[in-house]
């Protein structure tokens, strides 16, 4: 946000300009009615701006506001209070949802009306030039302040959405991290029960049920091996590594191999054993295809 002094400095607006503008006040007062009427005829001719001017009370209020703005334009006093007024107009436009483009067009319309008025009124060329220069400067400074409201609104929106976005991303990341942590802990818990299952299988061997014990122990060891791989994968994930789908297919395959071993021990019927073997084959093919596509992807 610029200060009034900066605004004047940047537009090379001098006290002399302020004096020249003040000398134009009587002329502006005499013509402000006509200028605002013409401006509103012009705005009513554009569908996008006419939409804002359908209500008669709004139209009247606007004309009064516009005339007051014209009076201020030639008051010769351009201080902080004046700057606040301009900012208020800018915010009023942003609030109503008016496109900044039409404010520029309207300003161009007012500029032409004022320049023509000066040209018709002042015969002296040098005086005309100085009055026109001062008018142009104050109109440009006005447009500058009014347009800044649009820019600030945009920045505010961007700032809010950017802040919201990064907060949301950070919260989701923390949440996912938490979930992964829970998963690792759960896997550790399950691994302990797998170890217990392995011990139980060994008991079977010592009890003399060697075939059942050995096959079950083998299946349990397979599961334990997969659990270790899974946990390793999850820990890698927690450290920022990539999620590995192959690992999960592997777990299902191992679980199925164990099921096949147990199924043989149980002497399940042929249909069940064929079903398990078929599923295992399909999973094997899926594992092979995923592994191949991952390898191709890494090579590319």
**Which residues inside 241-300 make contact with ligand HEM, applying CB under 6 A?**
none
The three-point CA angle 192-194-200 to 5° equals: 110
Q: What is the torsional sign of CA 191, 197, 203, 205?
A: negative
Query: Are 42 and 99 contacting, i.e. CB atoms less than 8 angstroms apart?
Result: no
CB atoms under 10 Å from CB of 43, counted, come to 19
Which of 4, 110, 117, 215: binder of ligand HEM (CB under 6 A)?
110
> Which tokens in the block code for residue 180?
């992964």
Which position among 88, 119, 157, 174 is part of the footprint of ligand HEM (CB under 6 A)?
88
| Ramachandran region, residue 98 (left: φ > 0; alpha: ψ -120 to 50; beta: rest) | beta
Pick the binder of ligand HEM from 89, 205, 255, 290 (CB under 6 A). 89
Q: Say whether residue 122 binds ligand HEM (CB under 6 A).
A: no
Is the CB of 98 or the CB of 183 nearer to ligand HEM?
Answer: 98
Considering only the stretches 52-60, 185-193, 269-277, 286-294, report the one whose residues sit in contact with ligand HEM under the rule CB under 6 A. 52-60
Tokens at 122, concatenated:
């002042």
How many residues lie near ligand HEM (CB under 6 A)? 21
Tell me the torsion sign for CA atoms 148, 86, 80, 113: positive
Q: Does 44 bind ligand HEM (CB under 6 A)?
A: no
Cβ proximity to ligand HEM, 31 vs 236, nearer residue:
31
Choose the binding region for ligand HEM from 84-92, 197-205, 270-278, 284-292 (rule: CB under 6 A): 84-92
Which residues form the interface with ligand HEM (CB under 6 A)? 43, 49, 52-53, 58, 61-62, 65-66, 69, 88-89, 92-93, 96, 98, 102-103, 106-107, 110
């Amino acid at each position: 946000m610029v200060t009034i002094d900066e605004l004047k400095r940047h537009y090379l607006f001098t006290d002399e300009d302020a004096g020249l503008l003040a000398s134009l006040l009587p002329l502006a007062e005499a013509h402000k009615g006509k200028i605002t009427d013409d401006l509103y005829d012009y705005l009513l001719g554009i569908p996008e701006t006419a939409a804002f001017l359908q209500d008669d009370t709004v139209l009247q209020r606007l004309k009064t506001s516009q005339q007051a703005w014209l009076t201020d334009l030639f008051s010769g006093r351009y201080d902080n209070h004046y700057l606040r007024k301009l900012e208020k107009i800018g915010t009023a436009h942003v609030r109503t949802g008016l496109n900044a483009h039409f404010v520029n067009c309207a300003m161009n319309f007012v500029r032409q009306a004022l320049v023509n008025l000066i040209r018709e009124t002042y015969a002296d060329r040098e005086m005309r030039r100085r009055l026109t220069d001062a008018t142009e400067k104050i109109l440009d400074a006005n447009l500058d302040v009014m347009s800044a409201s649009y820019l600030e609104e945009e920045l505010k929106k961007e700032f809010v959405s950017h802040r919201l976005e990064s907060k949301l991303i950070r919260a989701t990341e923390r949440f996912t991290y938490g979930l992964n942590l829970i998963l690792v802990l759960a896997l550790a818990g399950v691994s302990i029960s797998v170890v217990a299952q392995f011990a139980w299988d060994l008991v079977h061997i010592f009890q003399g049920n060697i075939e059942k014990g050995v096959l079950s122990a083998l299946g349990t060891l397979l599961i334990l091996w997969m659990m270790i791989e899974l946990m390793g994968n999850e820990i890698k994930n927690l450290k920022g590594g990539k999620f590995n789908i192959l690992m999960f297919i592997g777990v299902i395959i191992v679980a199925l191999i164990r099921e096949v071993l147990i199924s043989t021990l149980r002497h399940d019927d042929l249909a069940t054993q064929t079903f398990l073997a078929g599923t295992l084959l399909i999973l094997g093919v899926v594992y092979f295809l995923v592994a191949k596509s991952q390898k191709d992807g890494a090579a590319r």
